[in-house]
Every structure is written in C-alpha cells, then in structure tokens.
Amino acid sequence: MARILQIRRGSTAQNNNFTGLAGEITFDTEEKTLRVHDGETLGGFTLARADKESSGTSENFDINSVPDEFWQSLFDKFAPTPLNLLESRLANVSTNSSLEYIFNTDKTAKIVQVFLVCQTPEAGYSIGDEVAAFGIANRTNPQPITFYDENGLHVRLMINQENFWVSHKTTGASTNITNENWKILFRVYC
C-alpha cells in the first residue's frame, strides 16, 4: 500500500489566523493554494499558482534589485551558528584501557572525531598524514565517548589493551601498526 502525506488544511479564514512553525506548509481549501510559514507571520506566505494570474510582474523581476539588507537579515535569522574547532595535543598510542583528553569548554560537542597521525612512514602513509580509517582489535573506526563535568568536556577512547590497525593507504587492507610510529589526535566541533 502506498504511503500518503497529508498536510494541515483549512479555509482561507482559518489559514489567515494561523501562525505555523518555521518551514511548515498548510493548504487553503478555498483558494486551493499552499502557504509556507516562518514561525512568526500570521497567515504565512501564499504561494502563487501557475494557472492563476499573478498580482506581481514576475517576468520583470530582477533578483539583483533585492536590497542587500534583505538577504543579510535572512542570513542573520536562519544561518546556522558557526562551529568552533577544538583540537587536542598529539597523544601517544598505547594499549592502556582508555585514552582521555579534557577540553576546557562548556560548549556542546556537535561532532567528535579521532585520528591517527603518522610520525614515521608506515602502511603507505607519510609523516603528518591524518588517518580516520583505523580500528582497535575487531572494532572499525571506534568513536570516542564524551561527557561533561566541572573540568570541561571529556573525550575518551576505549582501547581495552588491544592493538591498533589502519587501512593501508594504497591497498585498503587492515595493517597492524607500530604504536611508536603514530600519535592520536582528537578533534571536536562545538
């Protein structure tokens, strides 16, 4: 059976007295038009129908005539907040139970990544290469655990005394590494 998507609908008066959520679409059952809502404007914005004559002169519309202030106000209102990048110092690869780095921040971590950084050429990599395609024992691309306390944002990689491996740069084959040839780097986007 096919899936059906049904959006909110109502008369023109009902739509005129409705402030939908930002990005919400409603249907005007009398005018047979859609309205797009921004979460603030009562009634939303009616979309033009192709079979109806437009009150504007769309064929003469020049996008370049829209003032820069208009675009800037939209950008200020709807642009995502830029992410801040935090990086740990390089840490030694070891087979301890875990490796932890504490970032001095109270910001929420949006993305957390861990890389192996080549220090001595191995597995086809050169000095300074950052490798995200690695694993510990039978775990591929292990993800760090994050939590907050009074000291800041903790990023912890569970190792459990197991060996690291990387995907060989040219063959892609799992290749055990020499711990001294690599360092660990945590990168956090807040």
CA dist., res. 123 & res. 169, Å (int): 6
Identity of the residue numbered 102: I
All domains of the chain in start order, with CATH: 1-49 (2.10.10.30), 85-189 (2.60.40)
Taking Cα atoms as reference points, which of 10, 13, 40 lies closest to residue 28? 10
C-alpha distances (whole Å) from 7 to each of 32, 36, 42, 134 are 13, 11, 18, 45
Other C-beta atoms within 10 Å of 182: how many?
A: 25
* Per-residue pLDDT reduced to its tens digit, 16-63: 999 989 889 999 999 999 999 998 999 999 988 877 765 555 566 677
Over the stretch 85-134, which tens digit does the pLDDT of each residue have?
Answer: 999 999 999 889 999 999 999 889 999 999 999 999 999 999 999 999 99
Distance of CA 153 to the CA centre of its chain: 19
Give the pLDDT band of residue 135 (cuts 50, 70, 90): very high
Give pLDDT, residue 157: 95
> What is the bridge-based pairing of β-strands 164-167 and 174-176?
antiparallel
The rounded distance, in Å, linking the Cα atoms of 7 and 24 is 9
Cβ-Cβ contacts under 8 Å for 87 (sequence gap 6 or more):
185, 186, 187, 188
Strand runs labelled E in the chain:
8-10, 25-28, 33-36, 45-46, 85-87, 91-92, 98-103, 111-118, 130-131, 134-136, 139-140, 145-149, 152-158, 164-167, 174-176, 182-189
Sign of CA dihedral 151, 113, 128, 141: positive
